[in-house]
Amino acid sequence: MAEMTYREAIRQALREELAHDERVYLLGEDIAEFGGSFKVTLELLDEFGPRRIRNTPISEMAILGCAVGSASTGLIPVAEIMYSDFFGMAMDQVVNQAAKMRYMFGGKLEIPMTIRAPMGGRRSAAAQHSQCLEAWFMHIPGIKIAMPSNPSDAKGLLKTAIRDPNPTIVFENKMLYNVKGEVPDEPYFVPFGKANIVRSGNDVTVVALSDMVDYALKAAKQLEQEGVSVEIIDPRTLVPLDMDAIVTSVKKTGRLVVAHEANRTGGVGGEIAAQAGHRAFDYLKAPIERVGAADAPIPFAPNLEREILPDDRHVYQAVLRVMDYGG
């Protein structure tokens, strides 16, 4: 096992897949010489050349249109959207083309494209560069979605995505790029649809996405000192979603908190809560709690941003509410 940052783990996955298959290529704004806004693709141009590490115009529609077209004709594109907020400029390419083409061609056509999308706030990047939009795409059949929360999963999920014959979005939380963790030395793949039980517990289940996993762990350590045993589940992928693991945990603990950075209304936490409530209703000892951002644009001011976005305090409070329910 080697220790590396989330950023380095993603770069290693890209390097291995570029070396594995000459059909794989990268495209995006400033990803070549500059290495991307978050320096994930740094040095890859020197190793693989401009034919496979391609800078693009400042046009998300062009980037994803090129990815869809090249994927449908035999290449394996890995496109970077500089900020996931910019998906708005290319929704037709993703929602009406990539997601539907394999189905509309009766399975005869594969669309093996991966979209890397930095997401999230906590950087004072304001309302147009700080959103978490995974719920948009979870609503569209035909798109797979991964949300790695640590370096090991970042590498393994990205490699799985690149080799999948279907369009996949990998949402990378910007605040995780510098986080370090152990990553296996040998090539490996993290399967989609297999949740990770990050922490075992008996009193309450916390399902946490992306950077909220670390916040949930902080809350769990504090709660442990107060006699509350928290089980933390990281779904790792939203499509496919490992509801079996979540339901099994809820049946054990009888309580559920779902935490994500995206705003609460319409977030994927509602879908997870609905499915868990349906399948484990008779086991619930308290109403399900959801933790998410406030329903407001993300402010630029750091103090206001901290008030909008959820963290370990909000997870802690939600756990106390389900533990206190009914006296």
Which DSSP string corresponds to 237-296? EEES--HHHHHHHHHHHS-EEEEEEEESTTSHHHHHHHHHHHHSGGG-SS--EEEEE-SS
Sheet containing strand 256-263, edge to edge, reads 196-199, 230-234, 204-208, 256-263, 289-293
196 has which bridge partners?
234
DSSP secondary-structure letter at 95?
I
Q: Do 268 and 134 meet the contact criterion of CB atoms below 8 Å apart?
A: yes
258 has which bridge partners?
207, 290
The CA distance from 6 to 218, in Å, is 19
Alpha-carbon separation of residue 300 from 46, 129, 150 (angstroms) = 36, 10, 26
Query: Which residues are known catalytic residues?
Result: 60, 129
